[in-house]
Amino acid sequence: MAADRKTWVLIDGENIDATLGGSILGRRPQSDERPRWDRILTFLAREWNQEVQGLFFLNASTNLPMSFVQALLALGYTPVPLSGDADEKVVDIAIQRTLRALRDRSDDVVLVSHDGDFVDDVGALADGSRRLGVLAFEEFRNAGFAQIPGLRFFDLEFDAGAFDAQLPRVRIIPIDEFDPGMFLR
């Protein structure tokens, strides 16, 4: 990899939050059940041994959560606050445009989302010249991503360690990772 290459981390916070609250917890997350966004940057910098730059896309059509924006800045993210009409998926539109703009760069890309709306644009980046990844909850990741050659998959909880609390997930366990002690409590 080139010395000046970096990894762009594109975070679809709405998608992660909706999956966490709606599909995993069935309620609004407690503080310790929310992702520790700094761990994602640290994990990916370590995993791919290069600089990471996180872009956190926010729908600010009705309000801009300044305390969250300030926290993101302190963690090293670039917040991308967006607005639009109520029927526009402004976060999706912006991430799609960013994925398309990254075609002209040689940098690596990790998408933090489960959303199938990004499959085609991530697939267009899979030209063999860069590393690509999707970081999400494995069981909720859109199946279309599996068709993209060379795409690496990372789990938010198990690989990136982005949570303080163990989430109530049912996960398929690779036999090499099976620990009976996890079930004999």
The encoded tokens of residue 133 equal: 């990844």
Give how far the C-alpha of residue 105 lies from the chain's centroid of Cα atoms, to the nearest Å. Answer: 20
What element of type H or E holds 112? strand 108-112
Q: Where are the beta strands (DSSP E) in 13-107?
A: 51-59, 77-82
Distance CA 174, CA 185 (A): 20
Residue 174: C-alpha distances to residues 45, 143, 148, 171, 178 (Å): 25, 19, 22, 9, 6
The encoded tokens of residue 140 equal: 């909720």
Q: Who has greater pLDDT, 65 or 56?
A: 56
pLDDT of residue 166: 84
Distance CA 33, CA 138 (A): 17
Residue reference for tokens 């050659």: 149
CATH topology of domain 6-182: Rossmann fold (3.40.50)
Q: Which sequence spans correspond to the domains of the chain?
A: 6-182
Distance CA 122, CA 161 (A): 24
**pLDDT over 60 (residue 64):** yes
pLDDT of residue 1: 47
Average pLDDT of the segment spanning 61-68: 90
**pLDDT over 70 (residue 49):** yes
pLDDT in tens, 119-153: 999 999 999 999 999 999 999 999 999 999 999 99
Instruction: Give the global pTM.
Output: 0.91
pLDDT in tens, 159-168: 999 998 888 7
> Are the C-beta atoms of 150 and 126 separated by less than 8 Å?
yes
Q: First-to-last CA distance in the chain?
A: 45
Local confidence band at 4 (pLDDT 50, 70, 90 cut-offs): confident
Residue 22: C-alpha distances to residues 15, 61, 97, 114, 183 (Å): 10, 22, 27, 13, 25
**pLDDT over 80 (residue 2):** no
Distance CA 124, CA 12 (A): 19
